[in-house]
Structure 1
Amino acid sequence: MAPTPLFPYDLLQAERERHAAYLALSTLSPVENTALRRRLLQLSARVWWHPFWGTRNGRASAARMELQRSVRAAEQGRPA
């Protein structure tokens, strides 16, 4: 995936990992998911508190949704 100019690489990577953990969590039984739930919480916190959100571009109201949209589009092979 080519880096999106709007978002820093580490933020994109954390969002990709968070999305993958969320999808994996949806397929596991409740007994198997404790470690994955913990990982999902860690990644969610990393994305939520990333320093990018304090920048001018990060303060845009649609920036968080655009991050999610661009990661999902890249995973499906569509242009971001």
Structure 2
Amino acid sequence: MRHDPVPDDLVAAQHAYTRAYEQLARPHTPGDAGPTVLRRRLLRLGVRVHFHPYWATAPAGASRPELLLLVRAQQRSREEAAA
């Protein structure tokens, strides 16, 4: 089934959410953003992703897990290109 492309700003917000989550999961080191800053960033980005206008007009079958899979695939291809 073919879906309309996911908007770039939604993909970017999901990328930022994933990065912030990964930063929060790592041990905190001096100079990094503190856990409170990262939690606030996660909340703000989570709201941006969850309430994005795309979801109101998305074709049937479009889902948030598909967005996450798309973001992870893009991250893997970037990592492979950098290696």
Q: TM-score, normalised by structure 1?
A: 0.79
Q: Which one has a bigger Cα radius of gyration?
A: 2
Equivalences, count: 70
Q: Work out which structure has the larger RCO, using CA pairs closer than 8 Å and 6 or more positions apart in sequence.
A: 2
Question: Once superposed, what is the RMSD of the aligned Cα atoms?
Answer: 1.7
- In 2, Cα distance between the equivalents of 1:7 and 1:74? 13
Name the amino acid aligned to 1:39. Answer: R
Structure 1 stretches lacking a partner, 5+ long? none
Question: Percent same amino acid at aligned positions?
Answer: 41
What is the aligned partner in structure 1 of residue 44 from structure 2? 42
Deviation at 1:67, TM superposition (A): 0.3
**Following superposition, which runs of at least 4 residues in structure 1 exceed 3 angstroms of deviation?**
none
The structure with the greater share of residues assigned to helix is: 2
What is the aligned partner in structure 2 of residue 21 from structure 1? 20
Q: TM-score, normalised by structure 2?
A: 0.76
